[in-house]
Amino acid sequence: MNTGEEIVVVSGATGFIAQHCILELLRAGYRVRGTARSPARAEHLKAALERLTPLDGRLEFVEADLEEDGGWDVAMAGARFVLHVASPIPEAPPKDENVVIRPAREGTLRVLGAASRAGVERVVLTSSIAAIAHGHVGGDTKVFDERDWSDPSKDIGAYEKSKTLAERAAWDFVERLPSEQRLELVVINPGYVFGPVLGGHVGISVGVIRRLLTRDVPGCPRLHLSCVDVRDVAQLHVLAMTTPEAAGQRFLCTGESAWVIDIARILQRHFGPRGYRVPAREVPDWLVHVVALFDKSARLILKDLGKPTEFSHARATRTFGWQPRGVEEIFIATGESLIEHGLV
C-alpha cells in the first residue's frame, strides 16, 4: 500500500503522456520526481498540475537529458518505481535516423542503468505500437498483439525503428543483469494518444485534432489510427507499476480504431455548431504525397496511407480489468481542452 512516502521517477516529465502519469500518481498519493531538460517548462507544468490536484510538496524536478549521464543517479536516489516515458518524437522524417534512434536506445539504457544502481524495484517503459506493427508482410488482415515485433531491418520509419530498438535493448539489459541487481521491467505499447491537454504542450497525435479544428489541412488523409485516451494510458502505467503479475510483460494500450475521416465527422458533429468548420472530406493518397513535398510533417504518414491495422488489448483487460474510453469521448475531450487552453 502507498504510504505517501514512496517516490516514483517519471522521465520526460513535460511530455503529454508523462504529464498525465504524474497527475495520476499525485492523485494516488505518491511523491513524484520528474526529469526534464527544461527547468522553465517543468515550472509551467507544476503550475498546471497545482490547479488540478494538491501537490503538498510531493512534486520535484531534476534536470536530465537522455543523451547525457548527468542527473540520472540524482533522479533515482531513493525511488521505488520508475516510469520511463521520455523518448524523441520527430515532427518530420530526419535526414539521419540516428538522431532519433540514438537518444531513444541509449537514453533507455541510461535510465535502466541508473535505476539498477539505485535499487529501483520496477521500471515501466513507455514503448509504442510502433515497436509492434511495422515491417510485416500481409499485415492488413492481422490483429496484432504483444507477441508481435516490428522488423527494423525492413523499410520502416526512424521513429518506428527507434521504439523497436529501444524496447529490445531494455529487455536485453534486464535479462543480463546479475540476480542481485535484477529489477522488474514492464512495457506499455500505446497507440495514437489523444485526450485533454493540461497546458500549452500539444503532442503529435493531438496535433491532428488541432489541425482539423483549425482547418489547417485540405481534407482527411486515408489514415487509420488505433486510438487511446491519455488518461487511460496513464492509468495503465500506474496499474503496471503496482500489479505483481505484470512483471516481465508488455501490454498493448489501445482502444477503438478510426479513420481520420471518422474523427473529422465526430468533431464536425460536436464542434461544427459552435463555428468550427472541420474538413470532412477524404483526400486521395496522391494529394497527400503532393502536400508532403511542402509539409515535412506529412511525410511521416505516407507509408501508412490506406493501411488499416487492428490491435488487441485483451492482455491488459485480462490482467488489470482495464477498459479504454471510446473514440467519441476521446475526441470531444481533446477538442474541448484545446479550446479551453486557447490552442484553437
- Identify the pLDDT of residue 1: 46
CATH code for position 16: 3.40.50.720
**pLDDT for the residue numbered 169:** 98
In a domain, 1, yes or no: no
The model carries a pTM of: 0.94
Distance (Å, whole) CA 329 – CA 325: 7
pLDDT score recorded for residue 279: 93
Specify the residue for cell string 506529412: 298
In a domain, 91, yes or no: yes
Mean of the per-residue pLDDT values for the chain?
92
Indicate which residues carry an active-site annotation: 163
Q: Is the pLDDT of residue 200 over 80?
A: no
Beta bridge partners of 144: 311
Alpha-carbon distance of 20 to 263, in angstroms, equals 23
Would you give the distance in Å from CA 333 to the centre of its chain?
Answer: 17
The stretch 266-283 carries a mean pLDDT of 94
Q: Is residue 34 part of a domain?
A: yes
Q: Which residue in 1, 161, 46, 32 sits closest to 93, CA to CA?
A: 161
pLDDT band at 288 (very low <50, low <70, confident <90, very high): confident
End-to-end CA distance of the chain: 42
Using a pLDDT cut of 70, give the percent of the chain over it.
97
Q: Is residue 229 part of a domain?
A: yes
The larger pLDDT score, comparing residue 39 to residue 32, is at 32
Q: Does residue 62 lie in a domain region?
A: yes
Does the pLDDT at position 226 exceed 60? Answer: yes
Would 63 be classed as within a structural domain?
A: yes
What is the rounded (10 degree) CA torsion for 259, 260, 263, 268? -130
Could you tell me the sign of the dihedral formed by the alpha carbons of 238, 244, 250, 255, in that order?
A: negative
Distance, CA of 258 to CA of 226 (rounded, Å): 7
What is the residue range of 248's domain?
7-340
User: pLDDT digits over 295-326, tens only?
Assistant: 777 788 788 888 888 999 999 999 999 999 99
Q: Residue 104 pLDDT > 90, yes or no?
A: yes
